[in-house]
Amino acid sequence: MKMKTAEGLNTCNYLIERLSIRLFHYENRTVTRMGTILDARFKKEGFRSYSNADQASKLLEDEIVTLLRDSSTNADMSKPSTSSSMPHQQSLLKFLNKKIEEKVKSSRADAIITVRQYLERPNAPQDSDPLEYWKNNENEMQAVKACAMRFFCVPATSTESERLYSKAGLTVSEKDHH
């Protein structure tokens, strides 16, 4: 939309500036940071501050580290025991098993790689639904999807609950006076 008058353009610019100033502090909140970076339409580009975008990236990395550690602990507990009924097969793959055991596993390194891969993917179209995006890409980036599902379920505001609590307080105090 193109403004036809200077007053309209000035008003529009003023509203954008004031709205940006008023909403900027929300970038410092963990849930807001995570919601923004996990929304594939925005990722790091959804932040006004590079510092907040970097903090969001680090938070996402930490979340993924926790998920990977939890899943590796569960995987270690459910490892099948090796059967001795096929000794020839075990000896053939012994060198491979030894290589796999020697490989250093790092949840942090895996998380860094996962976050980098996610951020380097093209952004989703601006008119797409973030929940639909993760539903349609459920086979890719499982750890990032798990974080998205966790943070997208958080209510955006507590205003409704605060109103309800306030009304309940008024109702109780009115009854106490009668």
Mean pLDDT by 10 residues, the chain (178 residues): 82 84 75 89 89 92 91 58 54 74 79 93 91 83 90 67 66 54
pTM across the whole model: 0.62
Specify the pLDDT at position 17: 84
Specify the pLDDT at position 141: 85
CA angle 131, 137, 141 (to 5 degrees): 105
Specify the pLDDT at position 154: 66
Specify the pLDDT at position 81: 46
Write the burial class of residue 55 (CB in 10 Å: 0-12 exposed, 13-18 middle, 19+ buried).
middle
Specify the pLDDT at position 1: 59
Distance, CA of 143 to CA of 137 (rounded, Å): 12
Q: Do 134 and 145 meet the contact criterion of CB atoms below 8 Å apart?
A: yes
- Number of separate helices (H) and strands (E) present in the chain: 9, 0
